[in-house]
């Protein structure tokens, strides 16, 4: 979606390194979702952020929502091969229209 920009498009990191993926909206965010997808498989819900300043964590993955900047960041600490996949941000922008960014492909080198 052009309404949601994800960066970077792809990322290769050495195992054990930290990384950040960003998701920026051109419109007001009513809710921001993060999903993960392993190649050729279905979507795994990571977390959903709704309020400005909200921060949630799941295992070694932390996401924050900056409502003023209309932006969310997903941070992975001490990356592992199991973190590899496609990370997708999605947003409830208006009227229950839920759109997604183009995704970030993450590869973790052992």
Residue 6 in contact with residue 101, Cβ under 8 Å?
yes
Interstrand relation of 32-37 and 19-25 (parallel, antiparallel or unpaired):
unpaired
Closer CB to other proteins, 16 or 53, in the complex = 53
Distance, CA of 81 to CA of 107 (rounded, Å): 8
User: Which range in 11-19, 27-35, 55-63, 68-76 contacts other proteins by CB under 8 A?
Assistant: 27-35
DSSP 8-state symbol, 28: -
Q: Does 30 bind other proteins (CB under 8 A)?
A: yes
Angle at 1 between CA 93 and CA 79, to 5 degrees: 95
- Given candidates 8, 16, 45, 78, which one binds other proteins under the rule CB under 8 A? 45
Q: Does 109 bind other proteins (CB under 8 A)?
A: no
* Structure-block tokens of residue 52: 């400005």
Q: Does 5 bind other proteins (CB under 8 A)?
A: no
Cβ at position 3, least distance to other proteins in Å: 9
Residue 73 in contact with residue 22, Cβ under 8 Å?
yes
* Structure-block tokens of residue 21: 């993926």
Q: Does 33 bind other proteins (CB under 8 A)?
A: yes
Site for other proteins in 48-77 (CB under 8 A): 48, 50
Contact positions vs other proteins (CB under 8 A): 1, 6, 30-31, 33, 35, 42-43, 45, 48, 50, 86, 88, 90, 92, 95-103, 105
């Amino acid at each position: 979606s052009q309404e949601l920009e994800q960066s970077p498009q792809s990322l290769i990191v050495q195992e054990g390194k930290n990384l950040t993926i960003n998701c920026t909206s051109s419109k007001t965010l009513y809710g921001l979702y993060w999903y993960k997808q392993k190649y050729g498989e279905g979507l795994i819900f990571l977390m959903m952020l709704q309020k400005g300043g909200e921060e949630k964590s799941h295992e070694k993955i932390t996401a924050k929502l900056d409502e003023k900047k209309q932006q969310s960041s997903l941070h992975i600490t001490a990356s592992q091969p199991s973190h590899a996949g496609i990370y997708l941000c999605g947003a409830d922008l208006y009227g229950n229209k839920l759109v997604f960014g183009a995704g970030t492909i993450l590869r973790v080198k052992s």
